[in-house]
């Protein structure tokens, strides 16, 4: 009886200790924003998630989508004629003048670096003729090209509209996709840029305080801020060190300070806890006596203390970090070796030989029977 009690106490202590470790880790990464994600920019692995699929208003993080859409669907050397609607757009601007002619790339720079709402509208009208047509086209683009699942934009700049929403996870997908484009990546990481327009000459400075260096942080490579009353503070940030590249999204923070504090926590967590491992081409995995393999080298994101890698019955490799599937990769099934069948000609030859032998035996038996019969006839 005493042994059972001792075992129970030991198990209780172990489970209690594991719970405390988990609680401490969660507490050390306590995120105040309504929603947040941390994603590996290269592998797409989801490393941290809080309300990642909740529909929220992105504010000016919308401009990340507008920028990559414009880069991929427009000619950056085009000269855009600014229309009346762009000039009247409220909020942050680069103070465009109606009829002013501005290169498309410069408008994208003004939109991303200084968060120019007027520049975003000028881009939309140039590409698709109207803001309304732009909205139809970019929603289709985001769904079909990038693979978002719960995003709908009604304008190019993120000014509040009830039907203008996205999720933290979708924004991470959009940012990761955009960062693969070198032109976007360059503009997204620009800290300052000289601006000369008809009504405004200045030096544009990024509004992102981590990128600007106002708040100390290591490895920041790009960023975009956002705010409207309905969305509160939103922030998109990319960072990298020698081991990993990260994308952090926080939505609906109560203050600018909170959004940066949450972002710093996410990035530090990613740098401290994750790295890459390469699954080599033809590396084998077995489940239920069935073999699967990787067709090419595959990079996965793993915890520095080790991650769980498991195979589903369908041959899906799942990487589990902190109790959640962070990455799923479909492997190839290794087909069983076919049973070797002898050459048809050889089989035909063997069959002919068998038939010949069989014929000789039959003839021999027939001759023997005839001989026996003759002897019987003579005796009679």
Give residue-wise pLDDT tens across range 254-275.
999 999 999 999 999 999 999 9
Whole-angstrom distance, CA of residue 328 vs CA of residue 320: 9
Band of pLDDT at residue 363, cut at 50, 70 and 90: low
The DSSP symbol for 33 reads S
Whether residue 181 sits in one domain with residue 93? yes
Handedness of CA 202, 206, 207, 210 (dihedral sign): negative
Domain of 264, CATH number, reads 3.40.710.10
Q: How high is the pLDDT of residue 281?
A: 87
Whether residue 296 sits in one domain with residue 165? no
Whether residue 284 sits in one domain with residue 252? no
- Listed range (146-155, 242-251, 276-285, 371-380) with the worst mean pLDDT: 371-380
23-65 pLDDT, tens digit per residue, is 234 435 899 999 999 999 999 999 999 999 999 999 999 999 9
Task: Single out the residue in 258, 274, 290 at which a domain terminates.
Answer: 274
- Listed range (10-24, 41-55, 126-140) with the worst mean pLDDT: 10-24
Whether residue 185 sits in one domain with residue 295? no
Whether residue 154 sits in one domain with residue 36? yes
Q: How high is the pLDDT of residue 110?
A: 98
Assess whether pLDDT exceeds 60 at residue 339: no
Q: Which of 49, 60, 231, 294 is catalytic?
A: 60
Active-site annotation holds for 307? no
Helix (H) or strand (E) holding 41: none
Residue 329 in any domain: the answer is yes
Residue 12 in any domain: the answer is no
Whole-angstrom distance, CA of residue 137 vs CA of residue 55: 21
Q: How high is the pLDDT of residue 370?
A: 57
**294 or 96, which is more confident:** 96
pTM, entire model: 0.81
- Count CB neighbours of 54 within 10 A: 15
Whether residue 298 sits in one domain with residue 267? no
Q: Which of 49, 52, 63, 252 is catalytic?
A: 63
Q: Which of 49, 115, 231, 294 is catalytic?
A: 115
Q: How high is the pLDDT of residue 253?
A: 98
- Partners of 225 in the β-ladder: 235
Assess whether pLDDT exceeds 90 at residue 338: no
Whether residue 78 sits in one domain with residue 147? yes
Whether residue 284 sits in one domain with residue 269? no
| Tally of domains within the chain | 2
Q: What are the backbone dihedrals phi and psi of residue 161, each rounded to the nearest 5 degrees, phi first?
A: -150, 135
Whole-angstrom distance, CA of residue 333 vs CA of residue 293: 6
Assess whether pLDDT exceeds 80 at residue 200: yes
Q: How high is the pLDDT of residue 1?
A: 42
156-167 pLDDT, tens digit per residue, is 999 999 999 999
Angle between helices 131-141 and 62-73 (to 10 degrees): 90
Residues of the domain holding 328: 280-333
Task: Identify the three-state secondary structure at position 242.
Answer: coil
Residue 312 in any domain: the answer is yes
Tally of CA atoms within 13 A in the half-sphere of 271 that contains its CB: 15
Whether residue 300 sits in one domain with residue 177? no
Active-site annotation holds for 115? yes
Q: How high is the pLDDT of residue 368?
A: 59
Q: How high is the pLDDT of residue 211?
A: 98
Active-site annotation holds for 60? yes
Q: How high is the pLDDT of residue 310?
A: 84
């Amino acid at each position: 009886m005493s042994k059972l009690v001792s075992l129970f106490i030991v198990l209780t202590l172990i489970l209690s200790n594991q719970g405390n470790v988990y609680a401490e880790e969660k507490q050390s990464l306590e995120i105040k924003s309504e929603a947040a994600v941390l994603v590996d920019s290269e592998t797409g692995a989801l490393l941290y998630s809080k309300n990642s699929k909740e529909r929220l208003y992105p504010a000016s993080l919308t401009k990340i989508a507008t920028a990559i859409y414009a880069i991929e669907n427009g000619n950056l050397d085009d000269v855009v004629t600014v229309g009346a609607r762009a000039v009247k757009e409220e909020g942050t601007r680069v103070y465009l003048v109606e009829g002013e002619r501005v290169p498309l790339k410069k408008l994208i720079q003004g939109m991303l670096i200084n968060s120019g709402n007027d520049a975003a509208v000028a881009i939309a009208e140039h590409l698709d003729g109207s803001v309304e047509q732009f909205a139809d086209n970019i929603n289709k683009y985001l769904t079909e090209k990038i693979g978002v699942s719960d995003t709908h934009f009604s304008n190019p700049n993120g000014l509040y509209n009830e039907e203008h929403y996205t999720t933290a996870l979708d924004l991470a997908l959009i940012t990761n996709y955009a960062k693969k484009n070198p032109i976007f990546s360059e503009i997204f990481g620009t800290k300052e840029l000289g601006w000369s327009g008809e009504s405004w000459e200045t030096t544009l400075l990024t509004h992102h305080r981590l990128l600007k260096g106002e708040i100390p942080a290591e490895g920041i490579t790009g960023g975009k801020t956002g705010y409207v009353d309905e969305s509160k503070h939103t922030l998109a940030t990319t960072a990298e060190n020698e081991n990993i590249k990260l994308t952090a999204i926080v939505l609906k923070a109560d203050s600018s300070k909170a959004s940066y504090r949450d972002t710093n926590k996410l990035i530090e967590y990613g740098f401290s806890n994750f790295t890459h491992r390469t699954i080599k081409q033809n590396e084998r995995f077995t489940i239920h006596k069935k073999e699967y393999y990787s067709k090419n080298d595959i990079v996965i994101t793993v915890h520095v203390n080790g991650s769980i890698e498991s195979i589903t019955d369908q041959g899906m490799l799942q990487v589990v970090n902190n109790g959640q599937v962070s990455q799923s990769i479909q492997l190839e099934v290794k087909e069983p070796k076919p049973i070797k069948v002898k050459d048809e000609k050889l089989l035909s030859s063997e069959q002919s030989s068998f038939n010949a032998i069989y014929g000789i035996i039959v003839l021999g038996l027939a001759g023997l029977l005839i001989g026996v019969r003759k002897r019987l006839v003579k005796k009679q």
